[in-house]
Amino acid sequence: TLPIDLIIEILKRLPAKAIALCRCVSKEWDSLLSSPNFAKSFLTSSSTRPQLLFTFEFKGKWHFFSSPQLHFNENISVVAPDYHMGVSGDWYKEVCLSANGFVYLYEKQMLKGKMERVPVLCNPSTGQKIPLPKVRAKNNELRSFLGYDPIEKQFKVLCMTVTKYRRQINSREHHVLTLGKGNPSWRKIECEFPHFPQNYRKGICINGILYYAAHNNFINVIACFNVKSEKFRFIHIDFNFWTLINYKGKLGVLVRDYSDNNQLWVLDDTEKGKWTKHILYFPNMIFWNIKSVWGTDTGEVVWAQWCWKKPFYVYYYNVERKSVRRVEIQGIEEKVFMDPAAHHGEVFTFPNHVENLMFRQ
């Protein structure tokens, strides 16, 4: 018989789907693999193998695929993704957020004769769809962001209502939902700085800080929400066309202009506001019609096509080498029975995706 430590060391390297099968081996294995300690070890191991996650809505389902996130030394031009799940439902397509292996969506549901926006948490690795309680707010115009606290190992959702007052649009009520502790419920928190979260720019969570783009009196700011302490900070910026990315575990601001010289500003010191500037050289003919732009922990900027069309490409730009490589994602259309020649809906692409076994039933 193998030592239990060796068994755990072997099993934590398997995909999440294989773990589900292994739980059926015996009661002992089921108890071992469903324990919080194993889930923690599995997440640590999965974090060393980051993936690209692709998700899109097609014919009433959200589909989830993943493929290896290639290192800049890997000379691969074509990859075949793994299909995880197709979640049925009537979905809102404008909200799609990812953090530490989970995806946050809004589903349309008829409640008491009224169409409501119901938040849903999906785990592509385990196939789970977890309905969350609806925000009880005075205003139905909402902005939501998903964050993760790596210290307490907790997911939290930050939700804000948006109001219009004297030609200004600001967030008014701020609510937080903590997941993983009994029956989750929304709590109201305070924010003394009026701001308007931008809906067309997604938030990003890095090392327990949730960053999102916002306005204050028509001034661009980056909101910094500490997921653990639930406190806000704000950074004033002068950029117009910009995107927040994770660059080597730091906040990066990708600034786009109409020349071939795009800029990447990396926040080296949050307290002192110290930034490092990088010039990026890649053709705007590739970049400007792209919607999903992200960064990787290894120092690459990643972007993908905004809608599904064959061939479907992912582009990697190495900031230090100033080189672009293109990788084709093959096989998605066969698995969801799409017409390869047709255009389909928006594709959300997330790098640094990990498999997470939290909240398993």
Q: Is residue 63 domain-resident?
A: no
Q: Is it the case that residue 332 has pLDDT exceeding 60?
A: yes
Radius of gyration of the chain (CA): 21
Beta strands in 228-356 (DSSP E): 232-236, 242-247, 250-255, 261-269, 274-281, 290-295, 300-305, 312-318, 323-329, 348-353
Domain of residue 18 covers 1-46
Flag whether 31 is in a domain: yes
- Residue 1 belongs to a domain: yes
Number of domains in the chain: 1
Q: Please indicate, yes or no, if residue 32 is contained in any of the structural domains.
A: yes
Residue range 19-38, pLDDT digits in tens: 989 999 899 989 999 898 99
Least confident span in 97-106, 136-145, 231-240, 313-322? 136-145
Percent of the chain at pLDDT > 70 equals 86
pTM of the shown model: 0.88
Quote the pLDDT of residue 201. 62
Kindly state the average pLDDT of the residues 114-135.
85
Question: What is the predicted pLDDT for the residue at 129?
Answer: 85
Residues 12-18, mean pLDDT to the nearest whole number: 91
Task: Tell whether the model's pLDDT for residue 182 goes beyond 90.
Answer: no
Q: Please tell me the least confidently modeled range out of 180-189, 241-250, 282-291, 309-318.
A: 282-291
pLDDT exceeds 60 at position 285: no
List CB contacts of 260: < 8 A, sequence separation 6 or more: 281, 282, 283, 284
Closest-CA residue to 255 (of 244, 247, 268, 246): 244
Q: Is residue 14 part of a domain?
A: yes
Domain membership of residue 242 (yes or no) is no
**Sorting pLDDT into bands at 50, 70 and 90, what band is 93?**
low
User: Does the pLDDT value for residue 361 go beyond 60?
Assistant: no
Tell me the per-residue pLDDT of 125-170, one tens digit each, with 9 for 90 and over. 888 888 888 887 665 577 889 999 999 989 999 988 877 655 555 6
Element containing residue 96 per DSSP (H, E): strand 91-99
Q: Which two tokens stand for residue 15?
A: 């995909």
Query: Does a structural domain hold residue 237?
Result: no
- Long-range pairs of 63-71 with CB within 8 A, sequence gap ≥ 24: 63/336, 64/103, 64/122, 64/124, 65/329, 65/332, 65/335, 66/124, 66/353, 67/329, 69/296, 69/302, 69/351, 69/352, 69/353, 70/316, 70/327, 71/298
38 belongs to a structural domain = yes
Note whether 87 and 62 are within 8 A (CB): yes
Query: How many CB atoms neighbour CB 145 within 10 A?
Result: 24
Residues 138 and 245: their CA atoms lie apart, in Å, by 32
Assigned token pair, 267: 């926040």
Reply yes or no on whether the pLDDT at 288 is more than 70: no
Per the model's pLDDT, the better-predicted residue between 110 and 42 turns out to be: 42
Of 78 and 257, the one with more pLDDT: 78
Q: Answer yes or no: is pLDDT of 341 > 70.
A: no
Q: Which residues pair with 236 in a beta bridge?
A: 221
Q: Assign 106 a pLDDT band (cuts: 50, 70, 90).
A: confident
